[in-house]
Copies of this chain bind each other. A is one copy, B any other.
Amino acid sequence: MSEQLRARLFEALDQIVLVDPHTHINAHAPASTTLADIMGYHYYTELAHSAGMPIARIEQEGLDPKEKVGRLVEFLGTIENTIQSSWLIEMVQTFFDFPDEAITPDNWEALYDRSRQSMAQPDWAETVLKRSKLSAVFLTNEFDDALEGFDTSVYVPCLRTDDLVFHLAKPEVRTRLEKAGGIALGDLASLRSAIGKLFEHFVERGAKACAISLPPDFAPAKIDKGAAESALTEVLRRGPDASGEQLGTLSQAVFWMLAEHCSEHKLPFDLMIGVNRGVYAEGVFQGRDLYDSRVSLIQYRELFNAFPQVMFPISVLASVTNQELVSYSWIFPNVLTNGHWWYSNTPTYIAHDAAARLEAVPRTKQIGYYSDMYKLEFALPKFAMYKRILAKILAERFVVDRGWSEERAIALGTQVLRGNVDAVFGPF
């Protein structure tokens, strides 16, 4: 009975056409061309490496894609318990009619060849989008991306700002900003003007959000003009050799400026809170970041109060921060819950965190899920995982525990899966 109820709710949620509000898709190469694009996803390389695969085996210069997949397959057995492995299997079963329950040294080659053929179809990306019921996906664009050569109604630009806030001291970042902003950096006014140009360009090209990932010790603050000006001067003069204090002050000043521009341009500002970069220095590409879960949204108190007109869809890296996110979203009109990020994007944590949100945050303020994918094929299994968990929560906590009708539960699920994406970022 309860299993059937879950299944019915899942079926209903699975009909929804989705807009994926956060991905790392390259709009010029959105889908995979070989299985190496899929299995080269950092989730697989880092798990395989964690299970014992030497990095050199997969990050070898000029490694042939097929050879790379063959090497990764050797380690799939050690990670088949992971939910990431289940995404892979569901993906190849769905897109390439893979008939087995595991990819092994015995069956991978046939899969590789068959999938190669599918991916070689000229309309493969469209096929994947359609099969995945995706009408649009957000990108993660460098601030100096030209945003040209793709359909921005399907591949929606999003201004990613980590470099501006944390790496402006690097000569190459400064140069890129001066070029994209059309002005030489000198004082705060020039910086503001350059950043303003980025926003204008992005908004003109259909950007629907500004986004940034933040380390656990970051605390936004409005910086006094004099202090900001002198920090900028120092950083422009000394680059990465500027003092930690000056670098930190400039980070805060730039961050605040971004919030001001979001306000002016009515762009939501996605905050992804809690990551420490490069913790495992010898890790695989994109597999070096971890975190300190001792972070609090109290660090964002000044920001949330200062920008009541800016919407802040917030992702937290650790599940232990989720209750704060629930509470802050319940109190602050401009704070929203946004997806289940990275290390919290596994069923145990999604189930606990999503249930808490669904029962205490206004239904209009929850962006249920985004895929965070690098290649289009991942949306289907990742969203399917989320929809199964969502169906279970709706079945148990709303239909059974609270006596809701199935229709009402499905409407709630539909809103967090799609409706709020439209309302917060859209229309699409």
Tell me, rounded to whole Å, the shortest Cβ–Cβ distance linking A148 to chain B: 36
> Binary interface profile of A, 340-361, with partner B (CB < 8 Å = 1, else 0)?
0001101111001001101111
**Given A81-B412, A360-B346: A294 touches B291 (CB 8 Å cut-off):** no
B residues near A330, Cβ cutoff 8 Å: 46-47, 50, 343
> Binary interface profile of A, 214-253, with partner B (CB < 8 Å = 1, else 0)?
0000000000000000000000000000000000000000
List A262-278 residues whose CB lies under 8 Å from chain B. 276
Question: Are A294 and B292 in contact, with the CB atoms below 8 A?
Answer: no
Report how many residues on chain A are interfacial, defined by Cβ distance under 8 Å.
76
Tell me, rounded to whole Å, the shortest Cβ–Cβ distance linking A316 to chain B: 11
User: In the complex, A70→B363 CA distance in Å?
Assistant: 20
Question: Are A291 and B352 in contact, with the CB atoms below 8 A?
Answer: no
Question: Are A288 and B318 in contact, with the CB atoms below 8 A?
Answer: no
Tell me, rounded to whole Å, the shortest Cβ–Cβ distance linking A121 to chain B: 29
List A38-83 residues whose CB lies under 8 Å from chain B. 46-47, 49-52, 78-83
Question: Are A358 and B288 in contact, with the CB atoms below 8 A?
Answer: no
Question: Are B305 and A280 in contact, with the CB atoms below 8 A?
Answer: yes
**Given A323-B320, A327-B291: A388 touches B359 (CB 8 Å cut-off):** no
A171 at the interface (CB under 8 A from B): no
User: In the complex, A291→B296 CA distance in Å?
Assistant: 8
A324 at the interface (CB under 8 A from B): yes
Question: Are A52 and B308 in contact, with the CB atoms below 8 A?
Answer: no
**Given A291-B298, A319-B323, A323-B349: A81 touches B331 (CB 8 Å cut-off):** no
B residues near A298, Cβ cutoff 8 Å: 276, 279, 290-292
A204 at the interface (CB under 8 A from B): no
Question: Are A324 and B365 in contact, with the CB atoms below 8 A?
Answer: no
Question: Are A360 and B323 in contact, with the CB atoms below 8 A?
Answer: no
User: In the complex, A47→B363 CA distance in Å?
Assistant: 10
User: Which residue of the partner chain B has the closest CB to A392?
Assistant: B401
User: In the complex, A225→B211 CA distance in Å?
Assistant: 45
User: In the complex, A204→B425 CA distance in Å?
Assistant: 60
B residues near A288, Cβ cutoff 8 Å: 331
Tell me, rounded to whole Å, the shortest Cβ–Cβ distance linking A72 to chain B: 13
With A318-B323, A348-B355, A348-B359 already in contact, 14 other A-B pairs whose C-beta atoms are closer than 8 Å? A50-B329, A50-B362, A51-B333, A51-B364, A79-B362, A79-B363, A81-B359, A81-B412, A83-B360, A276-B298, A280-B304, A290-B324, A290-B327, A323-B343
> Shortest 3 CB-CB distances between A and B: which pairs?
A51-B362, A292-B298, A292-B296
Q: List 18 A-B contacts (CB under 8 A).
A: A50-B332, A50-B333, A79-B362, A81-B359, A82-B359, A82-B360, A279-B301, A281-B305, A290-B297, A290-B327, A291-B324, A320-B320, A320-B323, A323-B343, A330-B343, A346-B360, A347-B355, A348-B359
